[in-house]
């Protein structure tokens, strides 16, 4: 989790469209965050809480451990990233 983005490591079965998965994650997390922190609801009223886009990549030829290592090494710097 960072000030301006989130890294997630997901396993999504082929029968689910990535766009649908991301729409649900972004929609549900936005609602939950705005319920938990009412000031966010006022701040983002009528606007998108999350950016409209997202980046998705497959990890076909690398192991889960390599992906997790990458994610753990790209955190806790001056940008406010937490692991």
Ordered alpha helix ranges (H), 3-76: 18-36, 38-43, 64-73
CB 71 within 8 A of CB 2: no
Inter-CA distances, 76 with 10, 17, 55, 65, 72, Å: 21, 32, 21, 19, 9
Q: Are 1 and 82 in contact (CB under 8 A)?
A: yes
The pLDDT confidence band at residue 82, using thresholds 50, 70 and 90, is very low
What lies within 8 Å, CB to CB, of 79 at 6+ separation is 2, 3, 4
Per-residue pLDDT tens digits for 29-72: 999 999 999 998 888 888 888 888 888 888 778 888 888 888 88
Closest-CA residue to 64 (of 3, 10, 2): 10
Domains of the chain by residue range = 1-83
């Amino acid at each position: 989790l960072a000030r301006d983005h989130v890294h997630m490591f997901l396993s999504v079965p082929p029968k689910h469209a990535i766009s649908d998965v991301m729409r649900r994650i972004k929609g549900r997390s936005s609602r939950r965050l705005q319920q938990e922190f009412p000031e966010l609801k006022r701040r983002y009223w009528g606007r998108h809480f999350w950016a409209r886009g997202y980046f998705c990549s497959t990890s076909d030829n690398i192991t889960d451990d390599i992906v997790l290592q990458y994610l753990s090494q790209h955190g806790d710097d001056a940008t406010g990233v937490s692991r």
